[in-house]
Amino acid sequence: MNKAYRHNSKVERVTRTRQEAKNHYDRLSGWYDLLTDRSERKSRDLGLKLLRLREGQKALVIGFGTGHGVLALAAVVGETGKVFGLDLSEGMLEVARERVLVAGLADRVELQCGDATALPFAAEFFDAIFMSFTLELFDTPEIPVVLRECRRVLKAGGRICIVAMSRQGKERLMVKLYEWAHRRMPSYVDCRPIYVREAIEQAGFQVVDVINNSIWGLPVEIVKAEKLGGKERETKVHLQ
């Protein structure tokens, strides 16, 4: 049994439909920050910093939610850059657009609803892609499809940073409890830990940096990778 198959066999499946997911996050959009932002913020901010976006570049945020990551990157790209965002939920889109307008950054941000398994962007369009607590929302067979789409729209040498709950390492009680809740209440606990780094590598990216963190006692991997096209680098691994 190869590594990819062994890992996939351990990852819980996502059984709710796209429409069910959209309806769920539409309902949560007004409360999402109150419920989750405090716990997700540290890992998200570490990932945004690790991405090292520069002025004048174009970036894509997949699963932008209430827009915190979009705002952070829009502040970095300046007037000559642009940040695009894609999210399944219209409710999240409304909240994020309002946040961007209040911040006065609407001229450098473009947000839309869509599905990351078929990104509505041209090949080699972006310098960078950011995804925080989003990849683990996709069913196991969809994860490589999303990552292939990311690779398609990235420029050669472009980088991607993914923050996600991780199944890496030894079995943990909190992981088992979370997976149990996911099996019992798939419409509410609709994500689950995945093998983050392995999925990114299998999609053809070169992993260059990894930060291991945690949320609610669950392991989190913050993985930065590049689309091959330049000199390969040695991977760095950090513990938080």
CA distance to 9, 138, 157, per residue, from 111 (Å): 35, 20, 24
At 5 the pLDDT is 40
Residue 17 lies in a domain: yes
In a domain, 213, yes or no: yes
Residue whose structure tokens are 């932008």: 64
Q: Is residue 236 part of a domain?
A: no
CATH code, 212:
3.40.50.150
Per-residue confidence (pLDDT) for residue 230, from 0 to 100: 47
Sheet arrangement for strand 58-62: 109-113, 82-87, 58-62, 126-132, 154-165, 218-227, 205-215, 236-239
Q: What is the pLDDT of residue 233?
A: 56
Cα separation of 190 and 183, whole Å?
9
pLDDT at 38: 87
Q: Residue 104: CB partners within 8 Å, gap ≥ 6?
A: none
Report mean pLDDT in 10-residue bins for the chain, 240 residues: 57 94 95 92 97 98 98 98 98 98 98 98 98 97 98 98 93 91 90 96 98 94 89 61
| Structure token pair of residue 49 | 């910093």
Query: What local confidence, expressed as pLDDT, does residue 234 receive?
Result: 58
Confidence at residue 240, expressed as pLDDT on a 0 to 100 scale: 65
> 142, 115 in Cβ contact below 8 A?
no
238 in a structural domain:
no
CB 165 within 8 A of CB 193: yes
Residue 75 lies in a domain: yes
Asked if residue 234 belongs to a domain, the reply is: no
Count CB-CB contacts under 10 A for residue 50. 20
pTM listed for this prediction: 0.92
**Looking at the 3D structure of the chain, how many domains does it have?**
1
pLDDT reported for residue 16: 92
Domain of residue 176: give its range.
3-227
Q: What is the reported pLDDT for 172?
A: 86
Q: Which of 57, 66, 61 is nearest to 35 (CA)?
A: 66
- The Cα-based distances of 177 to 27, 99, 193, 216, 218 in angstroms read 25, 35, 11, 11, 10
Residue 107 lies in a domain: yes
19 inside domain: yes
pLDDT at residue 103, as a whole number: 98
